[in-house]
Amino acid sequence: MGEPLQLRPVEYTILSLIRESPGLTPARLAKALAVTAPNITVWMGKLEARGYLLRAPKHDDRRTQLLSLTQEGERRSIEATQRLLLAERKALEGLTPGEFTLLGELLQKVAAARAVGC
């Protein structure tokens, strides 16, 4: 993501979350990322300025913004995901099937512990 696509990890995460949930609000995005609303506003502004993100008022509540990706934002998000999956495959290719299974189990434990701690 970094150099080739010029996306920071948080920017990639924001694009991915919006791509998976078009119409997401900034408040829900901030909650999903466990950051403050002002931080999300700054990141949204940066992504909007780069032509990746659109903000539109909600039809029944103009105070609420709905987020979506531009075509370029969609393309960038998909390309970054493909690069990330390829790098992940390369990083894991040296694991035996047993090690891969163990890694999956350990990651599930970490995720469960994190969910409880939130």
> Is 67 in contact with 53 (CB distance < 8 Å)?
yes
Domains of the chain (ranges plus CATH)? Answer: 2-92 (1.10.10.10)
- pLDDT, tens digit (0-9, with 9 covering 90-100), for 27-61: 999 999 989 989 999 999 999 999 999 998 878 87
DSSP secondary-structure letter at 4? I
For the chain, which ranges sit under pLDDT 50? none
| pLDDT in the model for residue 60 | 82
| pLDDT in the model for residue 1 | 58
Kind plus residue range of the DSSP H or E element containing 56: strand 53-58
Indicate the Cα dihedral angle 54, 8, 21, 57, nearest 10°: -20
Task: For 75-113, give the DSSP string.
Answer: HHHHHHHHHHHHHHHHHHTTS-HHHHHHHHHHHHHHHHH
